[in-house]
Every structure is written in structure tokens, then in C-alpha cells.
Amino acid sequence: NVRVVPVAIHLGDSQGSFDPFNFDGAAPLLALVNFNGEYPAGKINRMTPWPYAQNTPNNQTYVKNFTLGDPVRLGLAMNSTLSGNTVNLDVNVKFFENYNNLKLVVYVLENNLIYPQKNSTPFYGGLSLIPEFEHDHVVRTTFTDILGDVIPSSETSDGKTYTRNFTVAVPSNFANIANMEFVAFVVGSDNK
């Protein structure tokens, strides 16, 4: 059973269309992944193009193939609380092997954002504009650098747990705090 964690980063298209969910901090990530401006686009493990993003988004075999091979020997857990307008998020990474050159990335996402969506696919009846499209897993901000914050090498050895706490005000661009979710992941020197 494969668990996929989707993350949607909205960008204005080449015609400069307005999108209220655009994420202005994406430039370093776009440069890293060599984004060519073709929409829609998909990446797997951040760095590998998903050739099926435009025509068969339900093709799961391609994604499942990334789960084959040697397992990663670390675990990640999060705990969040909301007090008034303040988020308190603890991220814990437990290592079961020695690692070097790792970074922690934490995104804050929002779901159930309703807004028209341009459509360049044959899906949704081929409509060129889907009037009330539900946008989910949309990056609204990051608690770390978008490319990740360095995890000290002294914290990444077998048996250690690296803990990072974020106490941050709820971003002002949120439509509904109840639709907030967090994604945390660890990347290696290859940015995967």
C-alpha cells in the first residue's frame, strides 16, 4: 500500500493570470527542479518529472515504482496544537542509521479552496475553465526554507531523535484555519 503526500504549488501562468493562491516563495525550488513553465506539471520525490501529470494523473504504477528498493531508515512524526491564532508544531525525526547532509522541510498547506481553474487537459469534460474547482494541499507558506533547513550532522546518527519546534502565528493568507495541514519531510544532498 503506497501513501502519497501531494503538495500543490500555485504559480501565475505565462499570461500573468491572477491566482489568489500563488506562492511567491517558490523561485528557489523552481530553479532546483528545472521547472519549464508547462502546466500542469508534477514531480515525484521533488526531483523526478512525472510524465503522466498531463494526461493520466491516475497512473499509480509509475509512482509505486519509487517505493521499490532499499528502505529509508528514519521515521518522522509531527504534533500540532492551535491556541488562538498561534500554531505550535513539533517535528521529530528518529534515525535508525547514520546519515549526513540532510535537511528538514516543512510546508503549511490549505485544503478546500474554491476558485476557477484553467484546464488544458481532456478531464472535467474538456472545459477550458472549471468554475468552482476545489484546490487541495495548496502551499500557503513554509516554516523552513523551501529547500530545507540543515539538520546538524551531530543529530543524524543511528538512535538519535532530532526535534524542531515551530511556534508561529497562523499565516494571514488562510481562508479557513480548519483546513490547514502540515507536511514535513527530510531531503538528502540529492534534494530527494
Give the model's pLDDT for residue 14: 46
DSSP run (H or E) holding 11: none
For residue 123 the three cell numbers come to: 478531464
Is residue 124 over pLDDT 90? no
For residue 75 the three cell numbers come to: 521515521
For residue 94 the three cell numbers come to: 528518529
Q: Are 160 and 95 in contact (CB under 8 A)?
A: yes
| Mean pLDDT in residue range 116-134 | 85
> Which pTM does this prediction carry?
0.88
Confidence of residue 69 (pLDDT cuts 50, 70, 90): confident
Report how far residue 72's alpha carbon sits from residue 121's, in angstroms, rounded to the nearest whole number. 35
- In the chain, the N- to C-terminal Cα span, in Å, equals 21
